[in-house]
Structure 1
């Protein structure tokens, strides 16, 4: 039996948020957007996602206002996808989920570290730099390979 796509009977903000971002492909598309992926073919190649599934997720994220389509070519018409403010505001939740996954599901160490640009630290619990203690924002970090990355 498939789970319903909506949770109208639940008076719960978690349930409402899951209606938008509650499947694995959607969160991975958003993660890739934070890592600088912008174009359809790049999302598809990076994620290994079926084209029809990716098209559906990108459309839904645009419809929900987490991504916006921006033209970059006229003939043929092509667009790239950029995070909106609403999408960027998912950063704390996404990083917290990643850190939780690192703690419980990365026995060889984190596959990706979120590095503080211009510092030798990485994002830690509380979204602060492990080296300088500064509270970090998405534009101040970049993903780098961690000790658990696979070849």
Structure 2
């Protein structure tokens, strides 16, 4: 989680990615949409390009101007953005949702959930837990062992 937050954990980066994934690609479009200072926008766009979320491509030669196009990495991150939006709508949008996911054909509002690809079970099912991965260090293994030890006896998993 920390590695991802290092790259996209600030508000401006997330909002730029949101706009890019929704089809905005040009500096002036981001600037107008976000109301962000040009120097901040330049830094965040450069970082998103450097971290592989956006690709910088020229779209005009005289003068040279660039657009910022989402990469496969950004598209893979899109469900995370959807989860953040849904969470915010549930917990912070007391005035109502500003944006929401709908079924295109009917306009029916949908509630996104995360599921296991193989079983279709919701990831918050008690049969799932966080476990140490192959690269886990001792601190991670100790933390997860402590969490497991606090789980009531007989409780899944």
Work out whether the TM-score is over 0.5: yes
In structure 1, what is the equivalent of residue 109 of structure 2? 122
Higher helix proportion, which one? 2
Instruction: Specify the SS of the correspondent of 2:56.
Output: strand
In structure 1, what is the equivalent of residue 40 of structure 2? 53
Instruction: Specify the SS of the correspondent of 2:58.
Output: strand
| Cα displacement (A) at 1:118 | 2.7
Q: Structure 2 residue aligned with 1:110, among 74, 90, 97?
A: 97
Return the TM-score normalized by structure 2: 0.69
| Cα displacement (A) at 1:127 | 6.5
| Cα deviations by residue, 1:6-44 (Å, 9 ceiling, x for unpaired) | xxxxxxxx1111110011110000011122111001100
In structure 2, what is the equivalent of residue 73 of structure 1? 60
Question: 4+ residue stretches of structure 1 with deviation over 3 A?
Answer: none
Count of residue correspondences: 115
Return the TM-score normalized by structure 1: 0.71
Contact 2:56-2:69 within 8 A present in 1 as well? yes
Q: Quick one: distance in 1 between partners of 2:7 and 2:113?
A: 24
Q: Which of structures 1 and 2 has the larger relative contact order (alpha carbons within 8 angstroms, sep 6+)?
A: 1
Instruction: Specify the SS of the correspondent of 1:112.
Output: coil
Q: Quick one: distance in 2 between partners of 1:86 and 1:111?
A: 26
Instruction: Specify the SS of the correspondent of 1:72.
Output: strand
Q: Structure 2 residue aligned with 1:37, among 21, 24, 30?
A: 24
In structure 2, what is the equivalent of residue 11 of structure 1? none
Q: Quick one: distance in 2 between partners of 1:71 and 1:123?
A: 37
Q: CA RMSD in A?
A: 1.6
Which stretches in structure 2 are left out of the alignment for 5+ residues? 116-157
Higher strand proportion, which one? 1
| Cα displacement (A) at 1:78 | 0.6
Contact 2:15-2:34 within 8 A present in 1 as well? yes
Q: Quick one: distance in 1 between partners of 2:108 and 2:69?
A: 27
Which stretches in structure 1 are left out of the alignment for 5+ residues? 1-13, 129-151
